[in-house]
Amino acid sequence: MNATKPGWHRLWAHSYRLGLRSLLGGRWRNRHAAKVGLTRLLVPLDPWRYFEMGRIADLNLTGHCLDISSPKLLTSLLQREGRGDWVATDLFTDEIDAWRLIDRGLSLEQCDVRALPYADNTFDNCVSVSVIEHVADDGDNLGMGEMFRVLKPGGSLFLTTEVARHYRETYTDTKHYGNASEATSRGIFFSRSYDLEALRNRLLRQPWEIIQQEFAKQKDRAIEARFYRRAPWSYAYGGALRWLCADNFEISVAMPTLDDDEIAMAFLHLRKPARATD
């Protein structure tokens, strides 16, 4: 394990490692696995992942750990480096099946964060990267309750999610998450951006201890906008994003000043109290 490199750099290198191993090892025979492997070669990390996943990859995690639907690249790296004994979960069986081919050493299970199939007080740590904001209705609160339940007393949750100046929900005409996408009178729910009040009222209803809270704001929003606007042609320089995105964040402990259409990312380290509360 080369812990001298920052988390984003190790993730970036591991993405190429997995992509090459996938394609050279014949994983291309499975269509979804081939797509995942090719993505690992073309775009090792999306713009925001340099902060979100890099931040968690820098943690010294140990014990029995659960990942809730984060990009599997993160869990694959942590498992490879001996930073915890991991169970990686996802809602979608295609993703699980693909990653069983991509990384045969990773324990993978299909489940829904709103109803985790694990006993109370099972895990030492839990990680979830930009997932909870995509769970419709009161599913974000239910998911937080489930992660609280399966953590051991004193166990930690490391969570990233999208925040904005004002709370808002995004609806589309497309079922981005297949049958998991829920249709409403406003359209098909895609995600929500939390303001500080919603962050507290929707995600922190359980008696979490807030150990650490950080916010990341992009210094240059145009980098991400150009990349996605030019997709898929921009995938040709996906690996070069490391020189643009790794240092493209202003980190603060307080919510940054944001324009009405701007988003930031919150990183939360939450701990389940060591003693049960009444």
The predicted-structure confidence for 117-174, as pLDDT tens digits, reads as follows 999 999 999 999 999 999 999 999 999 999 999 999 999 999 999 999 999 999 998 8
Decide if 118 contacts 150 (C-beta within 8 A). yes
- Where do the DSSP E strands lie in 91-222? 107-110, 123-129, 151-164, 168-172, 183-184, 187-193, 209-218
**What is d(CA 215, CA 48) in angstroms, rounded to the nearest whole number?**
12
| Cβ neighbour number for residue 125 with a 10 Å cutoff | 23
Extents of the domains making up the chain: 46-271
> What's residue 28's pLDDT?
66
pTM: predicted TM-score of the whole model, two decimal places: 0.94
In tens, the pLDDT along 72-115 reads: 999 999 999 999 999 999 999 999 999 999 999 999 999 999 99
Give me the torsion for CA of 129, 186, 231, 264, rounded to 10°: -40
| Dihedral pair phi/psi, residue 109, rounded to 5° | -140, 145
Distance (Å, whole) CA 75 – CA 127: 9
Correct CATH for 46-271 of 3.90.79.10, 3.40.50.150, 3.40.50.10790, 2.60.120.590: 3.40.50.150
